[in-house]
């Protein structure tokens, strides 16, 4: 009996230690331990907006932004979109017709000239801007955040990409209301391979959340986990680690409403099909198309030809239902309860990760 009691005590102690406090981990390294369920039905789980589309030329144009920011579930949630800055016609159309939408961001560059450009346009209400740069934690970027913060026509500001707790704090103190978190985890990103820089995304989220809590800034910013999200379960883990929202690129690229589809006829007897190649904004393909030249060390990849597989409604519904199911397993009733204080993280082995996927079909 004493041995059983000691074993139980060790198990309780082990579960009380969050593995994210000891190691730098990804979503494949952990699971969330189920708890006593409280929901009578998963449809009773309370959600809020938690999805943003990435500002990529093969993802967010006018159509996807228009559909995504008006799509509401039965609880009235509006998701978010960031219109790509490299699609000027799409962005001008969004500025003209969608500027009253909640949760709509317009991507801008890291140049001060973009401030002057938007100053000369009249709007019925304030705009939200996303500074779309690969390294959002630089001295020049913090100066730019402050400059945007001073503009009377600006409502919310989304930072460039950051991945360190200190970088998150600096961006928040410089005036960013939304922090875009993630360097290197994206499906078409090769930054970590080319530079050796980055931070495992799950740890990046958790450490950023902790840093904001310690500094008393947690309620002042929206923390967005950008990249590395393949399934709804990944989104659940990021939200559980402290993120307020997720940003999807490759998953939205397969939606019929996403930008970049072209008609392609494989054989004369086949009907033309919609196809495109999902690519990173730092890929050689993108650089050649947009700038007419490429870097000797591109930090992005270009994928194979893909075809539409779903609608925005279907994709958002998949992630919303995944969150609802997770809340049921975790003994929670609302997405607002999904945070590090209310879940138990357990460290798993590679074989346990393999066990969690389909392996018999």
Return d(Cα 99, Cα 66) in angstroms, integer. 10
Query: Which strand (E) or helix (H) includes residue 112?
Result: none
Q: What is the pTM of this model?
A: 0.93
β-pairing verdict for 245-248 and 222-226: parallel
Q: Which of 77, 84, 189, 255 is catalytic?
A: 189
Q: How many CB atoms lie within 10 A of CB 23?
A: 11
* Strand 178-181 relative to strand 154-162, pairing: parallel
Q: Which of 173, 165, 116 is nearest to 143 (CA)?
A: 173
Contact present, 158 and 181 (Cβ < 8 Å)? no
Listed by start position, the domains of the chain span 49-256
Along the 361 residues of the chain, how does pLDDT read in single tens digits?
667 666 655 655 566 689 999 999 999 999 999 999 999 999 999 999 999 999 999 999 999 999 999 865 444 457 999 999 999 999 999 988 988 888 899 999 999 999 988 887 766 778 999 999 999 999 999 999 999 999 999 999 999 999 999 999 999 999 999 999 999 999 999 999 999 999 999 999 999 999 999 999 999 999 999 998 999 999 999 999 999 999 999 999 999 999 999 988 766 556 778 999 999 988 999 999 888 988 899 898 999 999 999 999 999 999 999 999 999 999 999 999 999 999 999 999 999 998 998 877 7
* The CA-based dihedral angle spanning residues 274, 275, 278, 284, taken in that order and rounded to the nearest 10 degrees: -130
Report the C-alpha gap between 346 and 34 in whole angstroms. 11
DSSP code for 80: E
Of the candidates 102, 56, 41, the one whose C-alpha atom is nearest the C-alpha of residue 77 is 102
* Whether residue 189 lies in the annotated active site: yes
In degrees, to the nearest 5, what angle opens at C-alpha 187 toward C-alphas 94 and 166? 80
User: What's the pLDDT score for residue 264?
Assistant: 81
Token pair, residue 215, equals 């500094």
Give, for 115, the enclosing helix (H) or strand (E): helix 113-119
CATH 3.20.20.70 fits 49-256, yes or no: yes
Helix (H, G, I), strand (E, B) or coil at 331: coil
Per-residue pLDDT, 360: 76
143: DSSP letter: H
């Amino acid at each position: 009996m004493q041995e059983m009691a000691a074993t139980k005590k060790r198990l309780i102690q082990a579960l009380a230690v969050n593995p994210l406090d000891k190691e730098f981990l990804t979503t494949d390294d952990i699971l969330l331990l189920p708890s006593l369920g409280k929901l009578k039905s998963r449809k009773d789980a309370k959600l809020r907006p938690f999805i943003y589309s990435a500002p990529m030329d093969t993802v967010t144009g006018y159509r996807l932004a228009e559909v995504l920011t008006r799509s509401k579930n039965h609880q009235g949630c509006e998701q978010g979109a960031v219109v790509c800055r490299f699609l000027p016609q799409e962005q001008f159309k969004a500025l003209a017709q969608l500027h009253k939408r909640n949760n709509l961001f317009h991507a801008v560059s890291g140049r001060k000239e973009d401030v002057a450009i938007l100053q000369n346009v009249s709007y019925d209400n304030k705009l939200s801007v996303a500074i779309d740069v690969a390294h959002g934690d630089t001295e020049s970027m913090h100066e730019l955040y402050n400059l945007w913060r001073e503009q009377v026509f600006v409502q919310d500001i989304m930072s460039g990409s950051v991945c360190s707790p200190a970088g998150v704090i600096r961006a928040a103190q410089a005036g960013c209301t939304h922090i875009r978190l993630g360097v290197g985890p994206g499906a078409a990103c090769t930054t970590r391979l080319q530079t050796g820089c980055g931070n495992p995304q799950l740890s990046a989220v958790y450490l950023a959340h902790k840093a904001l809590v310690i500094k008393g800034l947690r309620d002042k910013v929206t923390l967005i986990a950008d990249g590395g999200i393949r399934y709804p379960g990944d989104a659940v883990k990021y939200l559980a680690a402290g993120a307020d929202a997720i940003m999807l690129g490759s998953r939205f690229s397969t939606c019929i409403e996403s930008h970049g589809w072209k008609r392609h006829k494989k054989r004369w007897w086949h009907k033309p099909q919609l196809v495109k190649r999902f690519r990173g904004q730092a890929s050689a393909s993108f650089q050649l198309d947009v700038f007419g030249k490429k870097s000797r060390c591109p930090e992005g990849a270009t994928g194979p030809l893909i075809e539409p597989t779903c609608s925005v409604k279907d994709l958002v519904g998949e992630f919303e239902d995944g969150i609802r199911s997770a809340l049921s397993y975790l003994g929670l009733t609302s997405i607002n309860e999904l945070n590090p204080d209310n879940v138990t993280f357990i460290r798993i082995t590679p074989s346990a990760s393999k066990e969690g996927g389909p392996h018999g079909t």
